[in-house]
Amino acid sequence: MGAKVTIVGAGVGGLAAAARLAHDGYDVEVLERLPECGGRNHLLEVSGFKFDMGPSFVLMPDFFEEVFSYCGQSLKDYLDLRPIDPSYKIFFPDGDIFTVYRNSEHTKEEMERIEKGSAKGFDAFIRETSRIYGMIRPLLYKSVTYSSLFNPYYWGLVGRIHAFQSYWQLARKYFKSEKLCYAFTFEAMFMGVSPYQAPAFYSIISYTDHAQKIFHPMGGMYKIPLALEKLALKFGARIFYNCPVEKISKPGRKILVKHAKGVSEADYAVVNADYAYSQADLLKRRIPKYKYSCSTYLVYLGLKDKLKNLAHHNLFFSTDLDRNLRQIFDEKTVPQDPSFYAHIPTVTDPSLAPDGKEILYLLVPVPNLLNAKDSFCRHEEAINKLVFEKINKVCPCRLEDIVETRNCFYPEDFVSRYNVKYGATFGLAHNLAQSAFFRPANTDPRIKNLYYAGASTQPGGGLPVVIASSRIVADLINGKKAL
């Protein structure tokens, strides 16, 4: 056996790192506090309904393909990714509906109905975001540090990727209608940040959304960690569940990982737990004053009957989006009229519910728990009523009458279940001061051979990018240059 690697956390980043390193000949063990894999990419099963509790779509499928090809395997032998059409629907408060199709020509027809001439703006926006994507994609497999700032290559790159513009400002160049600006920047919310605060280079998410399209793994999103678990086990990785880690230290040549079943001595350690939590609780360090993403209120409904007029993915925008964003990110109060996301995977994948029944997953962005000025529980009933009313206006039904099962997940649950600091669903915020060189690196600054993979480290959040972080870690351990 090769050198010993201990991985803390069986989330997507930890499992992908385990698969790579086990394939490379290392003696790999994974320690996970929960009884199953996946981390926030978790599954809830109730009365025949299978709810994906976290991520709900696949972008950038080539990043998923890369981890399997790294291990000499084919993605198709592990996952069945299906394209979604339409990609999603956006419901505006004035009753207008904007449908995004797999065929962009159909999407442009929808846009022209909202803003004359916007089809040309769309083409220009995609060209620009494609250019940015081409420059950023190679960086998603690199770990950069403050010293990288002295590399002249990055000096010119800063301007070319619009680092000092916001996501919103970039969209505003191409669309006059606020409706379309929001339609092409809402993806920032899936990183837990306002489009007014996210740097413009995160517009690559819009590019992948419209150019590479959106996919669904048949059997549900939980098939992703299960596939990575299978891949890791195939090459000999050992995974220990119900095994919380208590402390990480390096008093001598070996890294010591203290956990519920004893102490592991490792030549290398990879932490896939929440970064802020690992620094404060596992390494007993004082952490900087990071900015954190928003949290979310999640509702998982098993419905007795099918819903009409909704797509696989649906966004309902607040009557006052500016105010909605201010309340979440600036005022730290629970929004009175929130935007929300409605996920109905049974539109594409009926296997996730009993015959003739439906799954409805609702996500409402809310403030994280750091210095929150409001208690969510005081507003839960009002938010539920508002969300149901908006859905009832679209669907010819009374949602309340067809609910068979109901489960909720709160900001506090992200802390207690996943050890996510302040219940910040998406980890550290993706603002300029916490992106690229300024985001926590994949190497520990004090302990040699200690590494990090996951949403709050480089290169950032989102399943494909987290998978890329596992490649960075594997390359660093193997002493290789990044892709």
CA pair distance 279, 430, nearest whole angstrom: 19
- What one-character-per-residue DSSP string does 177-219 give? -HHHHHHTTGGGGGGTS-TTTSBGGGGHHHHIIIII--EEETT
CA pair distance 51, 209, nearest whole angstrom: 23
Query: How far is the CA of 40 from the CAs of 370, 424, 439, 462, in angstroms?
Result: 20, 12, 21, 11
CA atoms 107, 113, 114, 116: torsion sign: positive
Provide the pLDDT for residue 143.
85
Phi, psi of 464, rounded to the nearest 5 degrees:
-65, -35
In one letter, which amino acid is 63? F
Strand partners, 409: 298
Phi, psi of 386, rounded to the nearest 5 degrees:
-65, -45
Alpha helices in 241-314 (DSSP H): 275-277
Alpha helices in 51-183 (DSSP H): 61-70, 104-114, 118-136, 152-160, 167-174, 178-183
In one letter, which amino acid is 19? A
Q: Running along the chain, 483 residues long, what does each successive block of 10 average in pLDDT?
A: 94 98 98 97 97 96 98 98 97 96 97 97 97 93 78 76 92 96 92 91 94 97 98 98 98 97 97 98 96 96 97 97 93 94 98 98 96 88 96 93 97 97 96 90 96 96 96 94 49
Query: Taking a C-beta distance cutoff of 8 angstroms, is the pair 316, 353 a contact?
Result: no
Task: Kindly report the length of the chain.
Answer: 483
Q: For residue 360, what is the enclosing H or E element?
A: strand 358-366
> Which of 201, 237, 192 is closest to 128 using CA atoms?
201
Provide the pLDDT for residue 482.
47
Provide the pLDDT for residue 481.
57
Provide the pLDDT for residue 361.
98
ω into residue 345 within 30 of 0, thus cis? Answer: no
> Which of 425, 42, 457, 8 is closest to 225 using CA atoms?
42
CA pair distance 120, 306, nearest whole angstrom: 38
- What one-character-per-residue DSSP string does 1-67 give? ---EEEEE--BHHHHHHHHHHHHTT-EEEEE-SSSSSBTTS-EEEETTEEEE-S---B--HHHHHHH
Provide the pLDDT for residue 396.
86
Q: For residue 340, what is the enclosing H or E element?
A: strand 340-343
Q: Which tokens is 119 given?
A: 């089809």
Phi, psi of 120, rounded to the nearest 5 degrees:
-65, -40
Query: Taking a C-beta distance cutoff of 8 angstroms, is the pair 442, 457 a contact?
Result: yes
Provide the pLDDT for residue 158.
78
CA pair distance 246, 341, nearest whole angstrom: 36
> Which domains are present in the chain?
4-81+219-289+431-478 (3.50.50.60)
Distance between the two ends of the chain, CA-based, in angstroms?
26
Q: What is the DSSP-derived secondary structure letter of residue 318?
A: -
The residues near 188 (Cβ < 8 Å, ≥ 6 apart) are: 167, 194, 195, 197, 198, 202, 205, 430
